[in-house]
Amino acid sequence: MLRVGLTGGIASGKSSLAALLSERGIPVIDSDAIARDLVAPGSEALSEIARALGSEVVVPDGSLDRKRVGQIVFADDAKRNTLEKILHPRIMAEQDRWLNRIEKAGDSPVAVVEAALMIESGGAKRFDLIVVVDCGEDQQIKRFMERTGMDEAAARARIEAQMPLSEKVKLADRVVDNRGNLPDLAAEAESLVQWLMERAGK
């Protein structure tokens, strides 16, 4: 089975492409969803995060205040690194378990893991192919502001905290251009599915 890593920058369109691939029958797992499960109330990871970042990141119902975590870690590189050391090994282990289940089931010649920090975390080396979703930085900022309600300065700070998209593109086996609209991305998804199936020998 072909193991494919799907990445890009904040608001580049990874999740939109992942949804289009899923609609076309390719199994996809979202690493943000894995992370949310890992920090469920009472979890070991949540306890570690609270110790590292302060009890203020846990709200009264016992869940993680993701917005507060974002404010803390994007203002402090050391704390962001600490958070990543807590989460990334656990996320990668869960990705691998999921990939192994898909492979064992034998239902698909291709499976895709979507993760924003796949390259930065060193996790990209575990995949057969890396697909990067590309768009312009101005588009990223505009989309991120629309999605989150943050101002431009905050959006820019989040984007600049990640590896530049231009650098990720250099490491890609395949680049998907998301400078257009959703129908354009759907056409890119069709082409990508065909390419992945060819690489998988199907």
Q: Where are the domains of the chain?
A: 2-199
pLDDT of residue 196: 97
Percent residues over pLDDT 70 in the chain: 100
**Neighbour order of strands in the sheet with 174-177:** 28-30, 110-114, 2-8, 129-134, 174-177
Q: Which of 108, 114, 117 is nearest to 200 (CA)?
A: 108
Q: Which CATH class is domain 2-199?
A: alpha beta
Average pLDDT, the chain: 94
pLDDT tens-place string over residues 83-129: 999 999 999 999 999 999 999 999 899 999 999 989 988 889 999 99
Mean pLDDT of 68-72: 91
Cα 73 to Cα 18, 34, 39, 67, 140, distances in angstroms = 26, 19, 16, 10, 20
Single pTM value for the model: 0.92
pLDDT of residue 159: 85
